Chains A and B, each alone.
Chain A
């Protein structure tokens, strides 16, 4: 569950990236976050990840107000969310399996747990056969699936995806979106920031639209043609 209460974010440069944002994404929900470049979309994602602090207002994640969260507790907050980026962010000198296992090392999982969990998520994203390959031997879609597997491997309660299909062709983009939808159907909250109008239109999910830092629309349905 993610809740924004009167959240404002003004950067030191004076840019007002987010103005009085109020919304609530329930547990198990699937929500798109859409808006043009520079609309404040990325800032919203950064605020959820606590990469940026809100200038005012409060952000509640899983029932906890993160506004006054101590810096050394941030890693534990992030373990409750899996993150996927446009540029995949895989480690080039590690295999698919190692890239996924890496996320479990970090949370100090037992070797036994790692050996059981990694093949499971790899089969979930359909990459069981490619576990020994390196990222540069994979297609863009496959790389994004590895990133998704890495985001999922620690069983987070939510997945935050920042333009996950931005670097992919339309067919592959659909594969990733369908995968995100499957993950959502298994009970994980999914938040996807995107530009992909046709996908948003067809998936008929909740859409939060942000423009110039203001949330101008928040309802179920397609991409608003005005934007």
Chain B
């Protein structure tokens, strides 16, 4: 029984969609456009987050401890550092490790390091990675507090990090503003498309009202029309975005600047699920809101 009604709604919805081919394709194009632009910013945003994560895990803060601090105290500092929130991992680099790293670095000039085994001048250090780069300066202050005057030096790549954070936040804001704007345009255009169908069928609607149809019964076929347009636009956009993304991301990765930085971009497959969900929600949402707006006037009989 219920199935019969749902079937009726869908049949009517499809009929509406096919009847106004011109306005349906107009709204399809506008919605695709919205979704494509959104998709571009969405994927740039996702990639920036991804790059930030790569940098976050790679770039740490290095905390050098004064050489006159005893080994026990150095261990205690390690324990204290673990208490600071916002720290992801802590790696201990002992004096010997530091010396070995140097030896590794100056393989060809071992003569420079002779005699240092007995009198190791390299300080022990902790390499700290962060959970969130935005917290970098806060964490650095805390580390200075904890280590106090036993701190020899603290190094971090603050400028790179804060530049990245600025870019990432900027892109997020721009994406948000453009998306809001595009969604409003899409809603207006879709509601106009459906208004045409509603207008063409106002006689039918008024008959339905006199026979005792509830508003929701009248509204459903039009909402389904909006949803159909939304889903078609969503599927088309996913295909277009997938093709464009694969072409562009290959070019970017192949470019000398990016490849020298050793940064990998997300593959489309990694974002596919998220994009499908976002696109379908966007399509269905715009469809429902657009058709609801266009129906309001005609239901007052």
Contact = CB atoms under 8 A, between A and B. Distances in A.
B4 interface: yes
A69 to B, nearest CB: 13
Given A51-B301, A89-B207, A91-B207, A72 B215 contact: yes
B142 interface: no
A68 interface: no
Contact of A78 (B4, B8, B211, B217): B211
B212 A78 contact: yes
Given A89-B207, A91-B207, A106-B217, A79 B212 contact: yes
B4 A111 contact: yes
Contact of A105 (B8, B210, B214): B8
A15 B4 CA distance: 46
Contacts of B301: 51
Contact of A106 (B1, B203, B211): B211
Interface in A52-96: 72, 75-79, 83, 89, 91
A106 B8 CA distance: 10
B96 interface: no
A72 B214 contact: yes
A169 B8 CA distance: 38
Nearest to A81: B212
B58 interface: no
A185 interface: no
A13 interface: no
B206 interface: yes
Nearest to A87: B203
B212 A110 contact: no
Contacts of B204: 91
Contacts of A107: 211-213
- Counting chain B CB atoms within 10 Å of each CB, the highest count among A51, A102, A106 belongs to A106
B103 interface: no
A159 interface: no
A113 to B, nearest CB: 10
A208 B110 CA distance: 120
A150 interface: yes
Contacts of B174: none
Contacts of A72: 214-215
Given A89-B207, A91-B204, A106 B213 contact: yes
Contact of B212 (A51, A89, A106, A111): A106
Interface string B115-133: 0000000000000000000
A49 interface: yes
Interface string B200-228: 00011011111111110100000000000
Nearest to B213: A106
A106 B204 CA distance: 12
B297 to A, nearest CB: 15
Contact of B209 (A78, A105, A110, A154): A78
B215 A106 contact: no
Nearest to B214: A75
Nearest to B218: A106
B212 A75 contact: yes
Contacts of B257: none
A108 B215 contact: no
A103 interface: yes
A97 B47 CA distance: 59
Contacts of B4: 110-111
Interface of A: 49, 51, 72, 75-79, 83, 89, 91, 102-103, 105-108, 110-111, 150, 154
Given A91-B203, A108-B1, 10 more contacts: A75-B214, A75-B215, A78-B210, A79-B211, A89-B203, A89-B210, A107-B212, A110-B1, A110-B4, A150-B211
